[in-house]
Structure 1
Amino acid sequence: MPQLILFNKPYGVICQFSQHELHPTLKDHIDIPGVYPAGRLDTDSEGLLLLTGDGELQHRISDPRWKQSKTYWVQVEGTPVEEQLEALRAGVNLGDFITQPAEVRLLSEPPQLWERKPPVRFRKTVPDAWLEIIISEGKNRQVRRMTAKVGLPTLRLVRVAVGPWRLDGLQPGEFRRLEVSLADLPRAGHAKPVGKAPVQQPGRQAAEPAPARRAAPRFRFAKKS
Protein backbone atom coordinates (compact mmCIF):
# COMPACT_ATOMS: atom_id res chain seq x y z
CA MET A 1 0.00 0.00 0.00
CA PRO A 2 1.14 3.60 -0.55
CA GLN A 3 3.07 5.23 2.26
CA LEU A 4 2.26 8.66 3.64
CA ILE A 5 4.61 10.87 5.67
CA LEU A 6 3.06 13.12 8.33
CA PHE A 7 5.54 15.90 9.10
CA ASN A 8 5.29 18.76 11.57
CA LYS A 9 6.91 21.54 9.56
CA PRO A 10 8.65 24.11 11.74
CA TYR A 11 8.33 27.84 11.16
CA GLY A 12 10.78 29.08 8.53
CA VAL A 13 11.20 25.79 6.68
CA ILE A 14 10.49 26.04 2.96
CA CYS A 15 8.48 23.25 1.30
CA GLN A 16 11.10 21.93 -1.08
CA PHE A 17 13.99 19.49 -0.98
CA SER A 18 16.40 21.50 -3.12
CA GLN A 19 18.77 23.83 -1.29
CA HIS A 20 17.58 27.37 -0.59
CA GLU A 21 19.78 30.41 0.06
CA LEU A 22 17.73 31.80 2.95
CA HIS A 23 15.71 28.99 4.54
CA PRO A 24 16.15 25.43 5.75
CA THR A 25 14.32 22.91 3.58
CA LEU A 26 12.57 19.57 3.93
CA LYS A 27 15.89 17.86 3.24
CA ASP A 28 17.16 19.09 6.61
CA HIS A 29 14.45 17.06 8.36
CA ILE A 30 13.40 14.15 6.13
CA ASP A 31 15.96 11.74 4.71
CA ILE A 32 13.59 9.55 2.70
CA PRO A 33 14.19 9.35 -1.06
CA GLY A 34 11.39 9.66 -3.59
CA VAL A 35 8.78 11.50 -1.53
CA TYR A 36 7.25 14.89 -2.34
CA PRO A 37 4.78 17.24 -0.64
CA ALA A 38 1.09 16.62 -1.29
CA GLY A 39 0.08 20.26 -1.13
CA ARG A 40 2.09 23.06 0.40
CA LEU A 41 2.45 25.08 3.58
CA ASP A 42 3.80 28.63 3.60
CA THR A 43 7.31 29.19 4.92
CA ASP A 44 5.99 31.35 7.77
CA SER A 45 3.31 28.79 8.70
CA GLU A 46 3.73 25.71 10.87
CA GLY A 47 2.22 22.31 11.30
CA LEU A 48 1.06 19.33 9.29
CA LEU A 49 2.57 18.71 5.88
CA LEU A 50 1.84 15.46 4.03
CA LEU A 51 4.39 13.81 1.72
CA THR A 52 4.25 10.70 -0.43
CA GLY A 53 5.96 9.07 -3.37
CA ASP A 54 2.69 7.68 -4.74
CA GLY A 55 1.22 9.81 -7.55
CA GLU A 56 -2.37 8.69 -7.06
CA LEU A 57 -2.27 9.32 -3.32
CA GLN A 58 -0.72 12.74 -3.89
CA HIS A 59 -3.51 13.55 -6.35
CA ARG A 60 -6.23 12.39 -3.95
CA ILE A 61 -4.85 14.66 -1.23
CA SER A 62 -4.00 17.82 -3.15
CA ASP A 63 -6.60 17.97 -5.95
CA PRO A 64 -9.44 20.35 -4.91
CA ARG A 65 -12.03 18.00 -6.40
CA TRP A 66 -11.53 15.61 -3.49
CA LYS A 67 -12.24 18.44 -1.02
CA GLN A 68 -9.86 17.34 1.71
CA SER A 69 -10.59 19.65 4.63
CA LYS A 70 -7.73 21.57 6.22
CA THR A 71 -7.89 22.60 9.89
CA TYR A 72 -5.89 25.57 11.16
CA TRP A 73 -5.34 27.11 14.57
CA VAL A 74 -4.89 30.80 13.92
CA GLN A 75 -3.66 33.43 16.35
CA VAL A 76 -5.10 36.78 15.29
CA GLU A 77 -4.55 40.34 16.41
CA GLY A 78 -7.63 41.87 17.99
CA THR A 79 -10.73 40.59 19.75
CA PRO A 80 -13.05 38.85 17.27
CA VAL A 81 -16.72 39.76 17.31
CA GLU A 82 -19.53 37.61 15.96
CA GLU A 83 -19.89 39.72 12.80
CA GLN A 84 -16.28 38.99 11.87
CA LEU A 85 -16.68 35.28 12.52
CA GLU A 86 -19.86 35.18 10.43
CA ALA A 87 -18.07 36.96 7.59
CA LEU A 88 -15.39 34.24 7.59
CA ARG A 89 -18.04 31.52 7.68
CA ALA A 90 -20.06 32.99 4.83
CA GLY A 91 -17.16 33.46 2.40
CA VAL A 92 -14.81 36.39 1.97
CA ASN A 93 -14.36 38.41 -1.21
CA LEU A 94 -10.60 38.63 -1.65
CA GLY A 95 -10.78 40.45 -4.97
CA ASP A 96 -9.43 37.69 -7.20
CA PHE A 97 -11.87 35.12 -5.78
CA ILE A 98 -14.53 34.60 -3.12
CA THR A 99 -13.70 31.95 -0.58
CA GLN A 100 -16.04 29.05 0.01
CA PRO A 101 -17.91 28.93 3.33
CA ALA A 102 -15.63 27.94 6.20
CA GLU A 103 -16.11 26.43 9.63
CA VAL A 104 -14.92 28.98 12.18
CA ARG A 105 -15.00 28.97 15.95
CA LEU A 106 -13.35 31.00 18.67
CA LEU A 107 -11.05 28.93 20.89
CA SER A 108 -11.88 29.79 24.49
CA GLU A 109 -8.32 29.01 25.62
CA PRO A 110 -5.05 29.31 23.69
CA PRO A 111 -4.02 25.97 22.13
CA GLN A 112 -1.33 24.07 24.00
CA LEU A 113 1.31 24.46 21.33
CA TRP A 114 5.07 24.37 21.23
CA GLU A 115 6.90 27.68 21.48
CA ARG A 116 7.53 29.20 18.07
CA LYS A 117 11.08 30.18 17.14
CA PRO A 118 11.30 33.10 16.73
CA PRO A 119 8.35 33.87 19.04
CA VAL A 120 5.42 35.99 17.97
CA ARG A 121 5.89 39.59 19.09
CA PHE A 122 3.81 40.17 22.22
CA ARG A 123 2.32 43.60 22.98
CA LYS A 124 0.43 44.08 26.23
CA THR A 125 -1.68 46.88 24.75
CA VAL A 126 -2.88 44.83 21.77
CA PRO A 127 -5.22 41.88 22.49
CA ASP A 128 -5.04 38.66 20.54
CA ALA A 129 -7.18 35.54 20.20
CA TRP A 130 -7.14 32.07 18.70
CA LEU A 131 -9.53 30.77 16.05
CA GLU A 132 -10.04 27.33 14.57
CA ILE A 133 -10.68 27.65 10.83
CA ILE A 134 -11.56 24.69 8.60
CA ILE A 135 -11.53 25.16 4.83
CA SER A 136 -11.67 22.81 1.85
CA GLU A 137 -9.65 25.08 -0.41
CA GLY A 138 -5.98 25.87 -0.19
CA LYS A 139 -5.16 28.88 -2.31
CA ASN A 140 -2.07 31.01 -1.81
CA ARG A 141 -2.03 32.49 1.72
CA GLN A 142 -5.79 32.11 1.83
CA VAL A 143 -6.33 31.98 5.61
CA ARG A 144 -4.07 34.98 6.22
CA ARG A 145 -5.90 36.95 3.55
CA MET A 146 -9.29 35.95 4.96
CA THR A 147 -8.54 37.10 8.51
CA ALA A 148 -6.91 40.32 7.32
CA LYS A 149 -9.95 41.12 5.17
CA VAL A 150 -12.27 41.02 8.19
CA GLY A 151 -9.90 43.09 10.34
CA LEU A 152 -8.10 40.31 12.23
CA PRO A 153 -4.49 40.10 11.01
CA THR A 154 -2.89 36.70 11.48
CA LEU A 155 0.02 36.53 13.92
CA ARG A 156 0.60 32.78 13.87
CA LEU A 157 -0.79 30.00 11.68
CA VAL A 158 -0.61 26.30 12.56
CA ARG A 159 -2.18 23.56 10.44
CA VAL A 160 -3.27 20.74 12.72
CA ALA A 161 -5.11 18.47 10.26
CA VAL A 162 -5.59 17.63 6.59
CA GLY A 163 -8.65 15.46 5.98
CA PRO A 164 -8.46 12.52 8.41
CA TRP A 165 -4.77 13.00 9.26
CA ARG A 166 -3.77 15.00 12.35
CA LEU A 167 -0.58 16.06 14.08
CA ASP A 168 -1.45 13.96 17.14
CA GLY A 169 1.47 15.10 19.29
CA LEU A 170 4.18 15.40 16.62
CA GLN A 171 6.66 18.04 17.70
CA PRO A 172 8.31 20.45 15.19
CA GLY A 173 10.72 18.60 12.93
CA GLU A 174 9.25 15.16 13.73
CA PHE A 175 7.49 12.87 11.28
CA ARG A 176 5.75 9.52 11.19
CA ARG A 177 4.90 7.10 8.39
CA LEU A 178 1.56 5.46 7.62
CA GLU A 179 0.45 2.87 5.11
CA VAL A 180 -2.72 4.10 3.41
CA SER A 181 -5.35 2.26 1.41
CA LEU A 182 -6.72 4.43 -1.40
CA ALA A 183 -10.05 2.63 -1.04
CA ASP A 184 -10.38 3.96 2.52
CA LEU A 185 -9.81 7.61 1.63
CA PRO A 186 -12.77 9.93 2.21
CA ARG A 187 -14.09 11.57 -0.95
CA ALA A 188 -15.41 14.78 0.58
CA GLY A 189 -13.02 15.68 3.37
CA HIS A 190 -14.70 13.60 6.10
CA ALA A 191 -12.49 13.04 9.13
CA LYS A 192 -12.51 9.27 8.88
CA PRO A 193 -9.48 7.45 10.36
CA VAL A 194 -7.34 5.66 7.78
CA GLY A 195 -4.07 3.77 7.60
CA LYS A 196 -2.25 1.13 9.58
CA ALA A 197 -0.16 1.66 12.68
CA PRO A 198 2.85 3.88 11.90
CA VAL A 199 6.23 2.27 11.20
CA GLN A 200 9.07 3.21 13.52
CA GLN A 201 11.93 5.01 11.81
CA PRO A 202 15.26 6.30 13.14
CA GLY A 203 16.36 9.91 13.39
CA ARG A 204 13.82 12.63 13.92
CA GLN A 205 10.75 10.48 13.61
CA ALA A 206 8.42 10.60 16.59
CA ALA A 207 9.49 8.11 19.25
CA GLU A 208 5.93 7.03 20.12
CA PRO A 209 3.72 7.73 17.11
CA ALA A 210 -0.06 7.44 17.42
CA PRO A 211 -2.45 6.33 14.67
CA ALA A 212 -4.70 8.90 13.03
CA ARG A 213 -7.88 9.55 15.02
CA ARG A 214 -10.70 12.05 15.33
CA ALA A 215 -9.68 13.58 18.64
CA ALA A 216 -7.96 16.97 18.63
CA PRO A 217 -4.18 16.82 19.11
CA ARG A 218 -2.67 17.74 22.47
CA PHE A 219 0.67 19.46 22.86
CA ARG A 220 2.84 20.60 25.70
CA PHE A 221 1.79 24.02 26.95
CA ALA A 222 4.15 26.84 26.01
CA LYS A 223 3.77 29.89 28.20
CA LYS A 224 3.53 33.25 26.50
CA SER A 225 6.69 35.26 27.11
Structure 2
Amino acid sequence: METPVDAPMKDEHESPKWKKSIVVFVLGGPGSGKGTQCANIVKQFGYTHFSAGDLLRSEIKSGSEFGAMIQSLISQGRIVPSVITVKLLCKAMEESGNDKFLIDGFPRNEENRIEFENVAKIEPAFVLFFDCPEEELERRILNRNQGREDDNIETVKKRFKVFVDSTLPVVGYYESKGKLRKINAAKPSEEVFEAVKDLFASET
Protein backbone atom coordinates (compact mmCIF):
# COMPACT_ATOMS: atom_id res chain seq x y z
CA MET A 1 0.00 0.00 0.00
CA GLU A 2 1.33 3.42 -0.95
CA THR A 3 2.16 5.67 1.99
CA PRO A 4 1.96 9.47 2.10
CA VAL A 5 5.77 9.48 2.00
CA ASP A 6 5.50 8.68 -1.70
CA ALA A 7 3.09 11.49 -2.44
CA PRO A 8 5.42 14.33 -3.47
CA MET A 9 7.40 12.25 -5.95
CA LYS A 10 6.47 11.61 -9.55
CA ASP A 11 6.68 8.22 -11.21
CA GLU A 12 10.21 6.86 -10.97
CA HIS A 13 10.30 6.13 -14.70
CA GLU A 14 10.05 9.80 -15.53
CA SER A 15 13.25 11.84 -15.71
CA PRO A 16 12.56 15.03 -13.77
CA LYS A 17 14.30 18.11 -15.11
CA TRP A 18 16.04 18.76 -11.79
CA LYS A 19 18.25 15.71 -12.42
CA LYS A 20 20.18 17.89 -14.87
CA SER A 21 20.40 20.73 -12.35
CA ILE A 22 23.31 22.35 -10.54
CA VAL A 23 22.92 21.67 -6.82
CA VAL A 24 25.14 23.35 -4.21
CA PHE A 25 24.89 22.26 -0.58
CA VAL A 26 25.58 25.09 1.90
CA LEU A 27 26.92 24.08 5.30
CA GLY A 28 28.30 25.91 8.33
CA GLY A 29 27.87 26.14 12.08
CA PRO A 30 25.05 28.08 13.77
CA GLY A 31 25.78 31.79 13.27
CA SER A 32 28.17 31.28 10.34
CA GLY A 33 26.11 33.55 8.07
CA LYS A 34 24.71 30.93 5.68
CA GLY A 35 21.33 32.67 5.32
CA THR A 36 22.83 36.08 4.57
CA GLN A 37 25.25 34.70 2.01
CA CYS A 38 22.60 32.51 0.35
CA ALA A 39 20.44 35.62 -0.13
CA ASN A 40 23.43 37.36 -1.76
CA ILE A 41 24.10 34.39 -4.07
CA VAL A 42 20.43 34.29 -5.14
CA LYS A 43 20.56 37.99 -6.12
CA GLN A 44 23.93 37.82 -7.86
CA PHE A 45 23.84 34.41 -9.56
CA GLY A 46 20.15 33.53 -9.98
CA TYR A 47 20.03 30.42 -7.82
CA THR A 48 16.86 29.24 -6.06
CA HIS A 49 17.44 28.87 -2.31
CA PHE A 50 15.89 26.06 -0.28
CA SER A 51 16.16 25.41 3.43
CA ALA A 52 15.16 21.89 4.45
CA GLY A 53 13.66 23.19 7.70
CA ASP A 54 11.60 25.83 5.88
CA LEU A 55 10.23 23.22 3.46
CA LEU A 56 9.10 21.01 6.34
CA ARG A 57 7.41 23.97 8.09
CA SER A 58 5.77 25.06 4.84
CA GLU A 59 4.40 21.57 4.19
CA ILE A 60 2.91 21.46 7.70
CA LYS A 61 1.24 24.87 7.14
CA SER A 62 -0.21 23.72 3.80
CA GLY A 63 -2.54 21.33 5.63
CA SER A 64 -1.71 18.47 3.23
CA GLU A 65 -1.83 14.83 4.26
CA PHE A 66 1.95 14.80 3.99
CA GLY A 67 2.19 17.89 6.23
CA ALA A 68 -0.10 16.28 8.80
CA MET A 69 2.18 13.26 8.93
CA ILE A 70 5.25 15.49 9.49
CA GLN A 71 3.42 17.39 12.23
CA SER A 72 2.45 14.11 13.88
CA LEU A 73 6.07 12.92 13.92
CA ILE A 74 7.29 16.21 15.40
CA SER A 75 4.49 16.21 18.00
CA GLN A 76 5.58 12.74 19.12
CA GLY A 77 9.14 14.02 19.52
CA ARG A 78 10.33 11.85 16.66
CA ILE A 79 12.90 12.89 14.06
CA VAL A 80 11.45 13.40 10.58
CA PRO A 81 12.98 10.62 8.40
CA SER A 82 15.54 11.80 5.87
CA VAL A 83 13.50 10.32 3.00
CA ILE A 84 10.67 12.79 3.74
CA THR A 85 13.01 15.80 3.70
CA VAL A 86 14.67 14.61 0.50
CA LYS A 87 11.36 14.06 -1.29
CA LEU A 88 10.22 17.55 -0.29
CA LEU A 89 13.47 18.96 -1.73
CA CYS A 90 12.97 17.03 -4.99
CA LYS A 91 9.38 18.26 -5.24
CA ALA A 92 10.45 21.87 -4.62
CA MET A 93 13.17 21.63 -7.29
CA GLU A 94 10.74 20.11 -9.78
CA GLU A 95 8.20 22.89 -9.22
CA SER A 96 10.66 25.81 -9.15
CA GLY A 97 11.27 26.16 -12.89
CA ASN A 98 14.95 26.85 -12.18
CA ASP A 99 17.96 24.60 -12.75
CA LYS A 100 20.35 26.05 -10.13
CA PHE A 101 19.76 25.37 -6.45
CA LEU A 102 21.31 26.26 -3.11
CA ILE A 103 20.27 23.78 -0.42
CA ASP A 104 20.99 25.40 2.92
CA GLY A 105 21.81 23.47 6.10
CA PHE A 106 21.58 20.12 4.33
CA PRO A 107 22.77 17.37 4.55
CA ARG A 108 22.84 17.73 8.34
CA ASN A 109 24.19 14.21 8.80
CA GLU A 110 25.38 11.13 6.93
CA GLU A 111 21.87 9.68 6.79
CA ASN A 112 20.64 12.82 4.98
CA ARG A 113 23.51 12.61 2.52
CA ILE A 114 22.99 8.92 1.71
CA GLU A 115 19.21 9.37 1.33
CA PHE A 116 19.68 12.33 -1.03
CA GLU A 117 22.01 10.29 -3.23
CA ASN A 118 19.61 7.30 -3.20
CA VAL A 119 16.37 9.23 -3.86
CA ALA A 120 17.43 12.27 -5.92
CA LYS A 121 20.21 10.32 -7.66
CA ILE A 122 22.28 13.45 -8.22
CA GLU A 123 25.48 14.67 -6.59
CA PRO A 124 26.13 18.29 -5.62
CA ALA A 125 28.31 20.29 -8.01
CA PHE A 126 30.18 21.32 -4.87
CA VAL A 127 29.65 21.95 -1.16
CA LEU A 128 30.03 25.51 0.12
CA PHE A 129 31.33 25.38 3.70
CA PHE A 130 31.35 28.53 5.83
CA ASP A 131 34.17 27.80 8.26
CA CYS A 132 34.10 29.80 11.49
CA PRO A 133 35.66 29.17 14.95
CA GLU A 134 33.28 28.21 17.75
CA GLU A 135 34.21 31.31 19.81
CA GLU A 136 33.18 33.64 16.95
CA LEU A 137 29.91 31.75 16.36
CA GLU A 138 29.07 32.04 20.07
CA ARG A 139 29.84 35.76 20.10
CA ARG A 140 27.64 36.42 17.05
CA ILE A 141 24.64 34.43 18.27
CA LEU A 142 24.72 35.87 21.78
CA ASN A 143 25.12 39.43 20.44
CA ARG A 144 22.36 39.28 17.85
CA ASN A 145 19.82 37.53 20.07
CA GLN A 146 20.20 39.24 23.42
CA GLY A 147 17.26 38.44 25.64
CA ARG A 148 16.21 35.26 23.83
CA GLU A 149 16.27 32.39 26.28
CA ASP A 150 16.96 29.75 23.63
CA ASP A 151 20.21 31.47 22.68
CA ASN A 152 22.00 31.28 26.01
CA ILE A 153 25.57 30.00 26.08
CA GLU A 154 24.62 26.43 27.05
CA THR A 155 22.16 26.10 24.15
CA VAL A 156 24.64 27.56 21.69
CA LYS A 157 27.30 25.09 22.82
CA LYS A 158 24.85 22.19 22.42
CA ARG A 159 23.93 23.34 18.89
CA PHE A 160 27.60 23.57 17.99
CA LYS A 161 28.29 20.09 19.40
CA VAL A 162 25.47 18.64 17.26
CA PHE A 163 26.99 20.39 14.24
CA VAL A 164 30.46 18.97 15.01
CA ASP A 165 29.19 15.44 15.70
CA SER A 166 26.65 15.17 12.87
CA THR A 167 27.56 17.62 10.09
CA LEU A 168 31.36 17.76 10.13
CA PRO A 169 31.58 14.10 9.00
CA VAL A 170 29.54 15.14 5.93
CA VAL A 171 31.97 18.02 5.33
CA GLY A 172 34.85 15.54 5.60
CA TYR A 173 33.18 13.16 3.14
CA TYR A 174 32.83 15.82 0.45
CA GLU A 175 36.35 17.08 1.13
CA SER A 176 37.64 13.55 0.43
CA LYS A 177 35.77 13.61 -2.90
CA GLY A 178 37.28 16.98 -3.87
CA LYS A 179 33.88 18.70 -3.75
CA LEU A 180 34.39 20.93 -0.69
CA ARG A 181 34.84 24.69 -1.14
CA LYS A 182 35.79 26.27 2.18
CA ILE A 183 35.19 29.98 2.89
CA ASN A 184 36.59 31.81 5.91
CA ALA A 185 33.34 33.00 7.51
CA ALA A 186 35.01 34.75 10.47
CA LYS A 187 35.55 37.86 8.32
CA PRO A 188 32.97 40.68 7.92
CA SER A 189 29.98 39.74 5.77
CA GLU A 190 31.03 41.91 2.80
CA GLU A 191 34.49 40.29 2.66
CA VAL A 192 32.96 36.83 2.91
CA PHE A 193 30.73 37.56 -0.07
CA GLU A 194 33.70 38.77 -2.14
CA ALA A 195 35.25 35.31 -1.63
CA VAL A 196 31.92 33.67 -2.45
CA LYS A 197 31.61 35.71 -5.67
CA ASP A 198 35.09 34.67 -6.79
CA LEU A 199 34.25 31.04 -6.07
CA PHE A 200 30.96 31.02 -7.99
CA ALA A 201 32.51 32.88 -10.93
CA SER A 202 35.18 30.18 -11.24
CA GLU A 203 32.93 27.16 -10.54
CA THR A 204 29.87 27.89 -12.70
Name the TM-score class by shorter chain: under 0.3
Higher RCO structure, 1 or 2 (CA under 8 Å, sep 6+):
2
The structure in which a higher percent of residues are helix is 2
The structure in which a higher percent of residues are strand is 1
TM-score (norm 1): 0.24
TM-score (norm 2): 0.25
